[in-house]
Each structure stands twice: as C-alpha cells, then as structure tokens.
Chain A
Amino acid sequence: MKIMAPARRYLSGADWMMAGLAHAARRLAKSGNHFQIVLDLEGAPDVDAVRRGIRLCVTRNPVLQGRARRAWNGVPYWKPGTVDCAPPDLVIRDVHPGVGPEDTILEWERHLLAPVSAPGGYLSFLLLRAGSTRSSLAVRFDHRLFDALGAETFLAMFARQISCEGGGEGCVEAPPAPSGLRPWGEKFANGRELNRMRLRHRSMGSYQLPVRPPSAPAFHCALIHLDASRTRDLMERSEREAGYLMFTPFLAACALRSFHEVARRGGSPLAGVVLPCSVSMGNPVEVYFNHLSFITLAASAGQIAAPLLARDMARQMYGQKRDGWPDRMESAWKLLRILPATLYGRLLSGPMRSLLGSFSLGYVGDGLAGIETIAGCRVLNAYHVPSVPPIPGVGFFVNRFRDRVNVCVTTFNGALEKKNHIALAAAFRRELTDPAPKPEAG
C-alpha cells in the first residue's frame, strides 16, 4: 500500500542558505538576517487602523506562525502554525519634527537589531512620527520567510488590508513545493561546478575584508535618495556605459569601484572583487520564501580600473546565464539542505565564507510604486534598509520608487568601521552622481 505524503512546502536551497545566514548573524551580530522596508508618509497614519491591519494580516496567515521542520527524507519543510498566536505589536516612537536624516537612520539601524517579540517573529513594525505632518513606517522582515520582492507584495497586501477595514483579503497560503531531491547526479555536477568557480575566484587572490566580531555589534546604514532629474541622468548613463536595460551590471561596476577604493584606502587592499548579485527566480511573485539566486561577477584590481567595466559586467552576466547559472546554483544549494541550520551558519562564517563574495548587491526594481497610501497617508517614498550577513559585512541595495532611485549602503561594524562606511557611501554616491567620464558601451 502506497502511503501518500502530505503536500508540503519543502524549503529551497536559497531558503536553507537564509536559515544558515540567520544563525551566522546570530553568532556574530546578535541579530537575525533581516531587512526592512521604510515608507515615508505625508502626515501621521491612524494608529488603530495600522494595528488592525497588522492583526488581520498576521492572524489570517498561518505561514507567519510556522517554523522549519525536517521530513523523514531529511529535507526541511515549513510547518505552518495555528492562527491564534498574538501578532507583533506596532512600536511607535515620537521624535522632534525637526529631526534630521542622521537621527532617522539611527532608528532604522536600531530596528534591525531589536529583539523579536511575537512567536515566530518574522515581522516587526515601527512607526516613527515627526509631529503631525510626516512619519515613516518601517516593516522588518525575516529573510527565512521573505525575499525582497515577496516583502513588497506583502506590504501592498497590508496597505489594501488597512483600507478595506477588516474585509478584503484572507489567508495567503504558501503553495506546496516538491522536495526536489532528484535528480542527484545533476545536483552533484552543479555542486562541482560551483566549487570550481570558487577555486577560480580564490586563485585571483584576496577578495574579502577581514571580519572580526565587534564588542558591540551594529549595522551602519547610509541612504542615498536621487530625485527625478538625477535618476534620469543615471539611467541614461547606465545605457551608455553598460547597454540598454543593463542597470544591474552598471550598478555592479559603480559598487566595485567604490568598494575597491575604500578597501585600498582603509589599509586592506584586495587583489580583486567577487560580487554575488541577487536575481529573482520567481515569476509571478509569491509572497513567502526565497525565490532568488545569484549571478557571480568577478573582477581583478586591473579590471576594476578599466574604463569598460560596466560593459564587462554585462558580458559576465550574459556568459553566466548562457552557462545555466543561476539555476545551477539553486540546484547545488539543495545539496546543503542536509546540514542543520546552525552548522550551516558556522560553515558560512568559517570555511565556506569565500562563497559569500566581497559584498552583496541587490536591485529590486519598482515593486513598491503601486502603494499609494497607508492608513490614509500618501506614500512619498519607499525604500529598503536591510542588514547584511556579517560576512562579508557590506551590501548595496537599490530600488526605484516611481521616478526616483533609492540606495542603502549597509555595513557590519566588524567588517568596516564607521569612518570607512561613510567613505564607502560617499564613494558610491559620487559614482552615481558625479563620476569621471567613461567610454560608451556601443
């Protein structure tokens, strides 16, 4: 008699890597692997409406109350919880109406490290009110359960939930996903190719900053907001240097130059840079779990100095896609699901740290543009303010909101001291707004 296994949501290779990174973050940074989305609002929202929206969104969704378990076949899956757990509270902080951007950023940095309060704790909400004319709502997401695009979809649902005042959408389920155990041969072949790629990068020489556990772990975040005019200039330049619709390779080139310069000036010159660039694998976008993989770009010190770096990055992206990455990476990662998340985290911050590259880069597009209001307040801007895995401890995160580009440069203070973090953000801003002239891509 064949016993039918229940339809389960088995976790992907990317999900399990995020679980490992969560443990690495807990060890080194005393925090989780979180990111937050901040919505700058005109006016101050109705707090009761926001609390109602939180309660409805969370209590109607048992996925948010669940946790990872391991099936009989050794593959981790998500076990949803019950729907009667207490939802996370809305933390409200009132600040002086004249508060400057530096103080606001401190609030987001602290929110990244704030302990979780609710069972599961995959979400937390912070409302910063600066008088009655402006406010900001920060929603923190746990990367074990959300990727950037899924979080944006969740926020849009949350905004609709508030405006429907208790009606509106119900439960958003995570559809079942197969274990993906077979075919084994293909996974081992992809794992072998991933190891070969890693060895090629290591043969280049040093490409990671040394990271030490600091006495008081902290994340430093720097925000760059470009207005419509600067965004237009930036997109035109991206086309000239990297090619039509090649914004991510263009950003990669800007980030590579900034990072390399700061590493050199900070006394840790590197032989090159390896950059895992996150790419979305989900279409259409699902709310929960990680549907991402990576394209790994690499450049020696000599290549970084070359004028056609952006074009080079576009070609590398093309070459990797033609060779079957990033699907092959997800396939290889599936092999590591056998590891307990705690051990995976130790390996990622130890012998496997070279897999994490020199720094992270993510560009998530303009998925937040459709959120017009939250609890009656117009959304003026929306951007990501994430933490980074403590190794490599540096990340650049870019999104578009309508006609503007937002950037968050996040560093972990075990990788970069505050003054080098400031220098890195300033270097990246210069790359985006006032660079030296470069040759055109065509």
Chain B
Amino acid sequence: MTESSIQEQLVRRVADILAVPPESIRVADPLHTLGLDSMRMVEILVFVEKQFKLDLMELNLNREDLFSIEALARTIGKHRSA
C-alpha cells in the first residue's frame, strides 16, 4: 500500500468525520486547524487501527508524527513496513 493511497483513505475518513467534501481538506494542514477535537482524533486513531492494523496509541509517537494527514500517512507507512 503506497503512502499516497494511505493519505487518500485518511482524507476520506476525516472528511466523513467532519461532514465536509474531501476536496476541501488539505493534507499539509495541521489537524487542529481542521476542527478536530479529542473525540474526533480518537475516531481517526481507531480507524487507523481497524484499517491499517496499527495501534498508534502504543507507539509513543510525538506531535510531528501526527500533525497533519500527510505526516500521519508517512507514520503509518513507516510502521507498516517495519
């Protein structure tokens, strides 16, 4: 699975959570500027576990690993191939 494909799936999920069109989401924007709160962030993490079989809560990630959809896709790609 390529990073681009991971990014696309994340964009669709975030758009679904926020009830906005996927094309309105910019992958480099910080997640907190997209209007996400704790509960919505947890929804994304649960989606990542179910979709990509990765429990990000266990990985002791820092802010930069989760900061944007782009960063999150990179993190997922890196840990899937590890």
Contacts and interface: CB of A to CB of B under 8 A. Distances in A.
A248 B61 contact: no
Contacts of A284: 19
Interface string A296-335: 0000000000000000001101100110000000000000
B45 to A, nearest CB: 6
Interface stretch (A3-11, A115-123, A238-246): A238-246
Chain B: number of interface residues, binned into ranges: 20 to 34
A318 B42 contact: yes
B31 A315 contact: no
Nearest to B64: A244
B53 to A, nearest CB: 13
Interface stretch (B2-10, B21-29, B32-40): B32-40
A241 to B, nearest CB: 13
A315 B57 contact: yes
A280 B39 contact: yes
B60 to A, nearest CB: 5
A295 interface: yes
B52 interface: no
B38 A248 contact: yes
A360 B47 CA distance: 28
A244 B43 CA distance: 14
B78 interface: no
Contact of A442 (B39, B43, B60, B67): B60
Contact of A317 (B18, B38, B61): B38
B19 A248 contact: no
B46 A321 contact: yes
Contact of B45 (A239, A248, A279, A318): A318
A298 B39 CA distance: 17
A365 B62 CA distance: 23
Given A314-B57, A321-B46, A244 B37 contact: no
Contacts of B66: 244-245
A246 B19 contact: no
Contacts, number: 52
A318 B46 contact: yes
B63 A246 contact: no
Contact of B41 (A246, A315, A322): A246
Nearest to B43: A321
B42 A442 contact: no
B37 A295 contact: no
A245 B38 contact: yes
Interface in A209-250: 239, 244-249
Given A322-B49, A442-B62, A244 B39 contact: no
Interface string A175-208: 0000000000000000000000000000000000
A283 interface: yes
Contact of B36 (A239, A245, A249, A318): A245
B46 A322 contact: yes
Contacts of B49: 322
Contacts of A279: 39
B10 to A, nearest CB: 15
Contacts of B62: 442
A178 B46 CA distance: 28
Contacts of A314: 38, 42, 57
Nearest to A315: B57
For the complex of A and B, 6 pairs with smallest distance between CB atoms: A248-B38, A245-B41, A279-B39, A283-B19, A321-B42, A244-B63
11 contacts: A244-B41, A245-B32, A245-B36, A248-B37, A283-B17, A317-B42, A318-B42, A321-B46, A322-B49, A363-B38, A442-B60
